[in-house]
Amino acid sequence: MEEKFSERELDRIIEMAWEDRTTFDAIEYQFGLKEQEVIKLMQRQMKPSSFRMWRKRVQGRSTKHQKLRSNASGRFKCSRQRQITGNKISKR
């Protein structure tokens, strides 16, 4: 699976998976990886202790799952966050 992604794309997927407010749906939209595929990728790319910490952190977290989010919370976007269009990450 990792073979089809560049090192930069893998870094971005991992970064998005660690971000609290980036949903698995957003990762799927941009990179075509479903939640279970992201979990497997994280397990292969991380040290076992780091992976366990990440899984504990994201498991059941409503902000990581679009269906569990309340619309009242809105969408937070950091001013330094890159604009994402389809599969492209635009430069600042």
Q: What is the pLDDT along the chain (92 residues), one digit of tens a residue?
A: 667 899 999 999 999 999 888 888 899 999 999 999 999 999 999 999 999 999 988 887 776 766 655 554 455 556 655 665 555 555 54
Task: Give the per-residue SS3 of the chain.
Answer: CHHHCCHHHHHHHHHHHHCCCCCHHHHHHHHCCCHHHHHHHHHHHCCHHHHHHHHHHHCCCHHHCHHHCCHHHCCCCCCCCCCEECCEECCC
Domain ranges across the chain: 1-58
Residue type, 56: K
User: How far is the C-alpha of 1 from the C-alpha of 61, rounded, in Å?
Assistant: 25
